[in-house]
Structure 1
Amino acid sequence: MPPPPNQVLPPPQGSVSQSIATTLSSALQHFINSDNPSHGQKIHTHILKSGFRPNVNISIKLLILHLKCGSLAYARKVFDELPAQTLSAYNYLIGGYLKRAKTLTLRMGRSSMRGLFDMTLEKNVICSTSMISGYMNWGSVEDAEDIFRKTVEKDVVVFNAMIEGYSKLVEYARISLEVYIDMQRLNFLPNLSTFASVIGACSVLASFEVGQQFQSHLMKAGLFLDIKMGCALIDMYSKCGRVEDARRVFDHMPEKNVFSWTSMIDGYGKNGYPDKALELFRMMQRKHQIEPNFVTFLSALSACRHAGLVDKGMEIFESMDRDYSLKPRMEHYACMVDLLGRAGSLCQAWEFAMEMPEKPNSDVWAALLSSSTLHGDVDMANMMNSGELVGSRMVYFWRQTGIKKQRAKIRGM
């Protein structure tokens, strides 16, 4: 436990030691992560009274703390007094304005953010980069484009913000490739972030021919061997249905991590090669001692679902907590319910959903509805469609439709 907020700092004694700065940072982080961050605001009060001059690290944590408390005015004051206004500081503050826009009105949020931009436009491009990213994440493409046009001195980071923003939106993905060409015409050299975005755009567009050209650019730039680029290429080729090209990239990666293995497993599973997906899943654990993460398990379960491998899927699902202390999430439960339902085990799928530690969400019910429709269980499908997914009514439904008898027959086989 950190010391109480009023005991973090001793009375000011001129220079403050590094140990005190570390204590401050730790205490602020504790309150940032807590359910009651407002209690940590007393630390800022004591800092002001003590005359202590916080460094950039502590100032940014104070900024985050005030934002978590919803005190945007205090956060802005900390930002204005920063000894150096960093990119992360801009990002946190703009995120605060965006959150305010959601709770108030978009116009007010835009007004506050635009005011920040207008004040700092001539100083540096950090603010414009953060603004572009913020607007793109918000879906306000025209506002992002306006900021980009008004940015006087552009650099590769500003271009990357535009390319990344466009690449994530289906209707704008092709424009990201045009911006990539424009930045090269202006003699800006693309970096890893640039390539990651344009390859992502190729994935969205399912355009492997263009992706192959970017792979050539990567090789010329000496960036082809980077793990992040390898994962991006695997994902792109897989989404384009070129799973053999994806495997070729995977095999030529000099270094692989859990993300590259997961990308290849997911690619095989989604392209109709569940056996190869599960073979890789076994290999990464047994031969290479790489621990799967939540996404890896979901990819493996999806492969089992497509192949109808109920027993294997159940084995993988149970191994999450047993072998890796990973508590299955809602998406893992939904995948298992779908796997059981597709295999015709509607009773088992229902029981699996009812035994979940959390209340099933719409994905779980959708899986049950899809399975009941697939196997012609009209009564169950009608019940799912009617929205009567409340405990007592569903139990009554299962009893009335004879599921208990069906379960007894299954167990007696």
Structure 2
Amino acid sequence: MSRFFCNSSIQAWKRCMSLAQGCSNMRKLKATHAIFITNGLHLNNYAISKLIAFCALSNSGDLSYASLLFNQIQTPNSYLYNTLIRAYSRSSQPHLAVHYFLLMLKQSSLGPDNYTFNFVILACANCSWLVSGRQIHNWVVKNGLFLVDAHVQTALVRLYAECKVLDDSKKVFDEIPERDVIQWNVLMNGYVRCGLASEALKVFRDMLVTGFEPDNFCVATGLAACAHLGALRQGKWIDEYVKKRTGLKSDVFIGTALVDMYAKCGCIDLAVEAFEGMPKRNVVSWAAMIGGFAAHGCATNAIHSLERMQVDDGLRPDGVVLLVVLMACTHAGLLEKGKLLLDNMKTQYGIVPKHEHYSCVIDLLCKAGRLNEALKLIRKMPMKPLASVWGALLSGCRIHNNVDLAELAVKELLQLENDVRGEEVGAYVQLSNIYLGARRGEDAIRIRKMIGESGIKKTPGCSMIEVDGKVNEFVSGDVSHSHQAWICAMLDLICADSIQDPF
């Protein structure tokens, strides 16, 4: 009898494990969970870990259900904690990864391992929790994990990059004894995302000098840095480098980066050549090409590409693609096409218009002088208008000298949240110019005086130019350039010549 009971228990165990491994959706998983309960396996750590892993890590899972399963376990082990910490670290709720990490620390029988630290550091990076990340960094160093675990090293470089503390990110990177290509790319990408593209290119060059072979992601990041800087010569060099290296093949990432780089560096023909030469294209590739057409005023090509991507590649446009098409309409002044696209986004493409889509059409209306129609569209928007919308209306008021609507736009701009206070000085300057255009000099002087008394400072203008492969950056009011005296002398000479012979 006892042998029969033992054999039946083993059979039930095998059947439950087989069911757990065969789960492909949450309906099957919940049915399997019910069978676990009837067989008393719902309290077994190993058995329930199979269900939690599917819920937490599978694309067909349900992370909240994984948490419910976890909460029913009396003594969860490290694997269960790590599964949830890992899943939440890359979810839309990364703070819950830190929550489970703290719960883990309260269990005296358990201690975090290298997997735990890797996932919780990534969670801090995705939350931009710099203080917590630093504390865990110190813990990692004290436990001797930093020098031996590449995943932890990469997570720390990413943490400081995501928190925009690039000096610390570079410091951690420099302390890694044996770097890998992923770590190089994380640092480069951090510089690009923080607007320090020249530093990213320097890292790319250092990687090549030290003998590292960049992968496709590193190349794409290097090209993105060139695009940000307008560094055409360096971008072309990377293009040639890819063609000459047998270990590198131009995939969809490199191809898209090339299209974007050539378009932003002013070479739309080379961008088209790179695009047409891609063996495979995705929605991002089309967005880059259409964006290039938009920036170069080729609105007809941009609109035609919207149809081509569906016919040639069988791809359905997403919100980004439709946005760049609207931008093309804005640059070309194609008001009716832009309005039609906005009106049909939901029915034709299944895309609900977002704030930026409305902003483009409002900009179109303002440039066409249809300011009252633009205001009506602003009032009908299903979301709160942000600075870009009121800024577009204000610019339209300046072009068409509408003082009343300009005052309304400035009032609305100043009522926005503090994170857009940088718009304040621009709004005041534009309003002052509008007053001057309307021959209301006293109001213009009053606004200028208000700017001076409030201590508001305008963000300085910035220009960049590439000479002999080196990108030079010039910021308004900055006199730190190494050739500043020579540049000023040449400007004085040019000005003197233009005064003597204006033609």
**TM-score w.r.t. length of structure 2:** 0.66
Q: 2:331 aligns with which of 306, 311, 321?
A: 306
2:237 is the alignment partner of 1:209? no
Partners of 1:311 and 1:281 in 2: CA distance: 16
1:133 aligns with 2:161: no
**Structure 1 residue 45 displacement after superposition:** 3.6
Matches within 5 A, 1:201-280: 201-222=225-246, 223-280=248-305
Identify which range, 52-61 or 358-367, moves more after superposition: 52-61
Alpha carbons 1:342, 1:371 under 8 Å: kept: yes
> In the alignment, which of 175, 182, 191 is matched to residue 157 of structure 1?
182
Check if 1:191 corresponds to 2:215.
yes
Give, as a single letter, the amino acid of the residue that structure 2 aligns with 1:349. Answer: A
CA 169–66 in structure 1, closer or farther in 2 if over 3 Å, else same? closer
1:121 maps to 146
Partner of 2:52: 24
Once residues 110 and 99 of structure 1 are traced to their aligned partners in structure 2, the CA distance between those partners, rounded to angstroms, is 14
Any gaps of 5 or more consecutive residues in structure 2? 1-25, 416-503
Q: 1:320-331 alignment to 2 at 5 Å? A: 320-331=345-356
Partners of 1:202 and 1:208 within 8 A in 2: yes
Would you say the 8 A contact 1:281–1:300 is kept in 2? Answer: yes
Worse overlay, 310-319 or 321-330: 310-319
Aligned 8 A contact 2:84 2:97 in 1: no
1:93 to 2:117 alignment = no
| Structure 1 CA distance for aligned equivalents of residues 193 and 97 of structure 2 | 31
What does residue 340 of structure 1 align with? 365
Residue of 381, 394, 401 corresponding to 1:356:
381
- Take 1:297 and 1:387, find their aligned partners in 2: how far apart are those partners? 27
Alignment deviations for residues 174-202 of structure 1 (CA, whole Å, 9 cap, x no partner) = 23223223223332211111101111111
Q: Which residue of 1 aligns with 2:69?
A: 43
The one-character-per-residue Cα deviations of 1:379-409 (angstroms, maximum 9, x if unpaired) are 110121133899xxxxxxxxxxxxxxxxxxx
Measure, in 2, the Cα distance between the counterparts of 1:57 and 1:169. 31
Q: Structure 1's 117 and 245: CA in aligned 2 closer, same or farther, altered over 3 A?
A: farther
Q: Distance between the aligned counterparts of 2:281 and 2:265, measured in 1?
A: 22
Counterparts of 2:333 and 2:226 in 1: how far apart (Å)? 31
Distance between the aligned counterparts of 1:56 and 1:101, measured in 2? 20
CA distance in 2, matches of 1:77, 1:8: 32
3-state SS of 2:73 partner: helix
One-letter identity of the residue aligned with 1:121 = F
Q: Which residue of 2 aligns with 1:383?
A: 408
Choose from 307, 314, 317 the match for 1:292. Answer: 317
Which one of the candidate residues 63, 69, 74 is aligned to 2:103? 74
The alpha-carbon deviation at position 286 of structure 1 amounts to 4.0
- Note if contact 1:66-1:75 (Cα within 8 Å) is conserved in structure 2: no
How far apart in 1 are the matches of 2:156 and 2:76? 35
Cα-Cα RMSD: 3.5
Residues 209, 75 of structure 1: alpha-carbon distance in 2 compared, 3 angstrom cutoff: farther
Q: 2-side partners of 1:178 and 1:54: how far apart?
A: 42
CA distance in structure 1 between the partners assigned to 2:113 and 2:161 by the alignment: 28
Give the aligned residue type for 1:206.
G
**SS of alignment partner, residue 368 of structure 1:** helix
> How far off its partner does 1:16 sit?
5.1
**Alpha-carbon offset, residue 147 of structure 1:** 0.7
Q: Is the 8 A contact 1:75 1:93 kept in 2?
A: no
Q: 2:343 aligns with which of 289, 307, 318?
A: 318
Structure 1 distance, partners of 2:338, 2:126, is 40
Q: Identity rate of aligned residues, in percent?
A: 26
Quick one: which of 167, 172, 191 aligns to 1:147?
Answer: 172
SS at match of 2:72: helix
Q: Is the 8 A contact 2:226 2:261 kept in 1?
A: yes
What code does the residue aligned with 2:323 have? L
Distance 1:22 1:40 in 2: 10
1:167-182 to structure 2, matched below 5 A, reads: 167-170=192-195, 172-182=196-206
Q: CA deviation at 1:208?
A: 0.8
Report the CA distance shift for 1:29/1:149 in structure 2 as closer, same or farther (over 3 A): closer
Which of 86, 102, 114 matches 1:60?
86
Distance 1:53 1:130 in 2: 20
CA distance in 2, matches of 1:184, 1:388: 47
When residues 257 and 286 of structure 1 are mapped into structure 2, their CA distance, relative to the original with a 3 A threshold, is same
Opposite residue 24 of structure 1, the aligned amino acid is: I
Indicate conservation of the 8 Å contact 1:25/1:61, yes or no: no
